[in-house]
Structure 1
């Protein structure tokens, strides 16, 4: 029941229902009457109105902050494209010193220069960050001397079973374990800071008996949706445990359905085409980063909780399970300890 309520709460769902209702009404009316009664001009006006209303419903709530972030340091992972780049640009425009984590040092520096130009000479620093490599994460963290806001945004979706440099299932290792380790290394700087984990609505689709942190049972029957959901569920648990264990203001969120992000670039061509067909009921990257900004800056965001559409929302029952959250934390500590020299 919670899943059904959550689905119909999301702006994309409301937008889709409105569009589907109009298309169905048009089809039924034409079928019953045997003809379309409106003129070409009336039909055009009607189509434009339906499109504009559909787009507005899909956008949902917007968060606009006037906070001056001068003197603050913000780290954004995965800021090369998508909502991470949009959020980094907004932070830079607000006066923050922004550190972006991007794969490849030259690429990171180039994107940092682009963001500085787009933000009207904001301060942006680009460092190489590969969240699928624990050694690379350590090298990145060693360069950081201050953090006021950490946005764990980077993510990946892969179609088949693969592992990271350290032998961890790729989505779990990159989306979650990499961010867990980065946060752990930066912990001395984070006690008075905010940590924002960009999770996903996809966490709802993880069955309570389907969690295997070793992914041994998934090697022969790999489901990218299942694996992705587990990685995003773990990010929610991570945020809640950070607040419970250390009192850190940590937040998790669903950014909404974003059409022009590059997270699906590794998927099959048909999947990418279908995803792009949903653009009319999805958000742009600027609209998709609104809940990220809300969690990073708003006093209305609640530490330890899950957010969506710039509001506090209830995640799945599994995401609310504190025992599982504690178990996930401990398993992750063991996973990392077995692969790095402490």
Structure 2
């Protein structure tokens, strides 16, 4: 009997470890009617727990050192978080890095900052709004060549809204915009790589949620469920790119990372709850490693889902090739309809 793939994720292992120790301590106190350890050994026990938990949350490491001069890398959403760390590291390795951020002036400013952080690396900022198909097309027309495309940008909304093209905003930003960008750049990507930053949240999708018109969420919006669906679509997109075109495309879960801008649209108390959960999450630096692994390592497997710097089994729904083909066709149809 195979164990569920979620049980191997660093954040899940950390959560289980802390839970067992917490409830185990309560049970011991209840049976013995007192805490059996002295203050010294209690402090030692807590310290040991901290180091073991830290090792569990960090997971595997991947730190690329091979230079990649004369390569062009495009990263969406590099204002902060994983995208910014990846842009800095790839620029340090000698790549020409193009970052896509909303607003040309803002994009240029962030690019200049990352260039300084990378000690003189080449970083260029272009305006990119993934919620606008016209803007995505304008961005793609500015690209002469690309070796690695990292579809990193993501949003998490709590209320229902639509884009200028009439597409549900979260799905448009996380999935449709990246799909269209990849489609436009595909002629220049035949021998390159596409990296889709997905999420462990794709495990939450139910077969009943697979309606890409998202009508079922219009009256009663569930931001987390729409987010999960968009991340499942990212996995489908990568697997279909490899199956249809032979492109080296990868999807991944970067890790549960609390200190990103993804939580910025959530209510205050939910943000506080997520900060408390940060003890089982990775840092941004650690979370960027799986993205870099998929972008550069020969051990990454095209068409597959990755986590913790290795190939990982995705959900049963994500491995359904028929549904992956359906998702591709629906997204392609939606873009053709709206791009007119």
TM-score range, shorter chain: over 0.9
Q: 1:198-250: CA deviations, max 9, x gaps?
A: 01111111111321111112211221121111111111111011111111000
Q: How does 1:149-160 map to 2 (within 5 A)?
A: 149-160=148-159
Residue 99 of structure 2 corresponds to residue 100 of structure 1: yes
The 1-side partners of 2:108 and 2:41 are apart by 52
The 2-side partners of 1:56 and 1:254 are apart by 18
Aligned to 2:87: 88
Gaps of 5+ in 1: none
Q: CA deviation at 1:61?
A: 0.7
Question: Secondary structure of the residue that 1:265 maps to in structure 2?
Answer: helix
* Matched positions, count: 340
The 2-side partners of 1:36 and 1:71 are apart by 62
Q: 1:79-98: CA deviations, max 9, x gaps?
A: 10111111111111111111
Q: CA deviation at 1:133?
A: 0.7
TM-score, length-scaled by structure 1: 0.96
The 2-side partners of 1:117 and 1:52 are apart by 34
Q: CA deviation at 1:78?
A: 0.7
Aligned to 1:305: 304
The 1-side partners of 2:25 and 2:317 are apart by 41
Aligned to 1:321: 320
The 1-side partners of 2:303 and 2:165 are apart by 29
Q: How does 1:181-220 map to 2 (within 5 A)?
A: 181-220=180-219
Q: CA deviation at 1:37?
A: 3.5
Q: CA deviation at 1:34?
A: 2.4
Residue 233 of structure 2 corresponds to residue 245 of structure 1: no
Aligned to 2:227: 228
Any runs of at least 4 consecutive aligned residues in structure 1 with deviations exceeding 3 A, and if so which? none
The 1-side partners of 2:185 and 2:32 are apart by 66
Aligned-pair Cα RMSD in Å: 1.3
Aligned to 1:169: 168
Aligned to 2:32: 33
Question: Secondary structure of the residue that 1:74 maps to in structure 2?
Answer: strand
The 2-side partners of 1:331 and 1:139 are apart by 23
Question: Secondary structure of the residue that 1:253 maps to in structure 2?
Answer: strand
The 2-side partners of 1:40 and 1:127 are apart by 57
The 2-side partners of 1:257 and 1:61 are apart by 14
Question: Secondary structure of the residue that 1:289 maps to in structure 2?
Answer: helix
Q: How does 1:47-66 map to 2 (within 5 A)?
A: 47-66=46-65
The 2-side partners of 1:281 and 1:13 are apart by 8
TM-score, length-scaled by structure 2: 0.97
Q: CA deviation at 1:339?
A: 1.6
Gaps of 5+ in 2: none
Q: CA deviation at 1:51?
A: 1.3
Q: CA deviation at 1:57?
A: 0.3
